[in-house]
A = this chain, B = another copy of it.
């Protein structure tokens, strides 16, 4: 792994400063046309600033590129970032919100894993309910392996309203409301125990796609590996999203049975290809592993064939079939059987080289891009050609009877990029970008067709490459998987950091590298290395910040953030009280800077306590926390919110509850005594 851009000698630094000086003169001349104030003030400013830019650059060994990168990314106090990246937190189970170009983490959104800062899963009843709905029967799940965040779309463009993300480890899907950046729903896939190809949305977010990964008997059942071809299956699940309710509607959703290839990543068609979805697959070898018995390990067994199959699914027709009831039930969930899918002409394959990771649909929907990670090319398919090939009916079938279109009939182009191509994104200048895991680098290449007009490079050709550090997986460009990518920035989601940062022990952060892609041709500049201090961040989406319009405070001082409506247990000032009914105690409390009311809660050992706290503030950022020792409770109560929890007072004693979110100069005094008298 080569280090680049590390030569830092005085000569280069001198050049950097000269460059600044020369360019500054040009700039100053043009500015001084606009008035004389500049030169009047300059002497005063010069004398006031004793630490100077040139000396700093010299002292810190900054090169010319470093200086421009610093100025392109530095975001002064109070200036807001132009883009917001939603990055999967991988096996942290969470989502991270990152400002761009500053690459600062603005928030962690708790999704599948309890997180006490947000009061997520530490007693607050609404959060407990969301988490519990993701359990598998009696099996409590307290983490996830988040993979692909998907922003909701309207006509194929991000609308800033919702965010979906899947849990690969347990095949679950979560819905996050971007009014308050909180998770509102978790659904468990009823037919699969793991997934990968989620979540992706159709252009109006009516359907959320969850593709499978490792084949298994559908419905969580058991069968020996000896019966792999007969009993093991792949799948894709289509979840219906009710935007008005802000919830996935499981009873309106369905799945499709697929051959036991390992389906991987899907993308929805858009514009000309709207109504179709496309998924890659690997292990069409149907290898079942067994290295311990002398069989090839999966890594070899699943990498033998030159071609796997891109899955081409007629979604509109599949919806019709499902809604027409032409399904079987698996674990109570409607599934279109593979035979039905074939008969109803819902499913086609196209050969795709070799163990690819994902299908990426071009902004206009005309092209599907696949990168076989063991092949040096990207392969581009034409939706028009696919339709023609389907109409022509000229195909063979795989052993399950699925039609396999001829590659030559459906391929538009192949572009040789380099080693380990993995994932592609698009910009607004007719370029696509593909990560190359093995080099490691990011390639810029030119699209053909109508896109060719947008730049001067020959169509379907490699334009430029930029090295990254190290082991890039997915990449994300600004709005780069929508119908109208913004260009501007690309983030390389690197899985290894190695020497990029100060060593922090054997477990290292990931490395998000920000790349400037604004200039056409061979101009790609590495701007920033951002250590990502959490799980393997599988994928990210980047949205223009002004498309988001979150609440600053909750709309009313009685708010339940789970129902997004007034809470019947909300308590206003003057309504605080403690009610007792036998052994059941109910506390109605308010929180305001800097006290809780009541400050004494006197109960008896053995009582069951239901406790509501309303934050009656409407001041931006005036969040209060609430904890009681021993009972493992912590709430985050944002302005206007009501939070409830319950517990059995099994232990007698004196418990100081207090505000855990520093709220005022007298925050330490924001406390009270829970007195539990012994039985």
Contacts and interface: CB of A to CB of B under 8 A. Distances in A.
Contacts of A393: none
Nearest to A179: B505
A64 B672 CA distance: 49
Nearest to A70: B74
Nearest to A593: B299
A63 to B, nearest CB: 7
Interface string A8-49: 001111110111111111111001101101110110011001
Given A469-B77, A551-B505, A32 B52 contact: no
B469 A636 contact: no
Given A10-B31, A72-B60, A80 B20 contact: no
A276 interface: no
B27 A24 contact: no
A630 B597 CA distance: 42
Interface stretch (A218-226, A317-325, A477-485): A218-226
Interface residues of A, number: 227
Contacts of A378: none
Contacts of A32: 14
Contact of A90 (B72, B73, B117): B117
Contacts of A664: 471
Contact of A641 (B182, B473, B506): B506
Contact of A672 (B90, B289, B355, B505): B289
B654 A216 contact: yes
A118 B24 CA distance: 48
Contacts of A282: 668-669
B34 A10 contact: yes
A499 interface: yes
B74 A74 contact: yes
Q: Quick one: copies of this chain in the complex?
A: 2
Contact of A598 (B70, B89, B292, B500): B292
A519 B128 CA distance: 51
Contacts of A636: 507
A541 to B, nearest CB: 15
Given A15-B42, A18-B38, A117-B535, A193 B64 contact: no
A629 B194 contact: yes
Contact of A536 (B53, B297, B374, B662): B662
A3 B303 CA distance: 59
A565 interface: no
A373 B473 CA distance: 51
Contacts of A663: 495
Contacts of A221: 652-654
A295 B672 CA distance: 13
A244 B122 CA distance: 36
A417 B140 CA distance: 53
B24 A18 contact: yes
A68 interface: yes
A553 interface: yes
A117 B91 contact: yes
Nearest to A80: B502
Interface string A501-533: 111111111000100101100010110011101
A453 to B, nearest CB: 22
Interface stretch (A101-109, A198-206, A248-256, A335-343): A101-109
Interface in A639-661: 639-641, 651-656, 658, 660-661
A326 B169 CA distance: 56
B106 A599 contact: no
A415 interface: no
Contact of A22 (B46, B181, B373, B634): B46
Contacts of A670: 298-299
A614 interface: no
A452 interface: no
Interface in A119-133: 122
Contacts of A314: none
B118 A143 contact: no
A277 to B, nearest CB: 20
Given A20-B24, A507-B181, A653 B220 contact: yes
Interface in A439-477: 469, 471, 473
Given A282-B668, A534-B117, A634 B143 contact: yes
Interface in A343-387: 355, 357, 373-374
A545 B216 contact: no
A470 B525 CA distance: 35
A217 B656 CA distance: 11
The 6 A-B residue pairs whose C-beta atoms are closest, nearest first, are: A70-B74, A289-B599, A181-B505, A21-B24, A506-B638, A292-B598
5 contacts: A10-B31, A77-B500, A78-B500, A298-B671, A471-B662
Given A122-B142, A221-B653, 19 more contacts: A4-B77, A11-B37, A15-B38, A15-B45, A18-B24, A21-B24, A49-B68, A60-B72, A81-B501, A117-B534, A214-B658, A222-B675, A222-B676, A291-B599, A297-B669, A302-B669, A373-B665, A420-B665, A503-B552
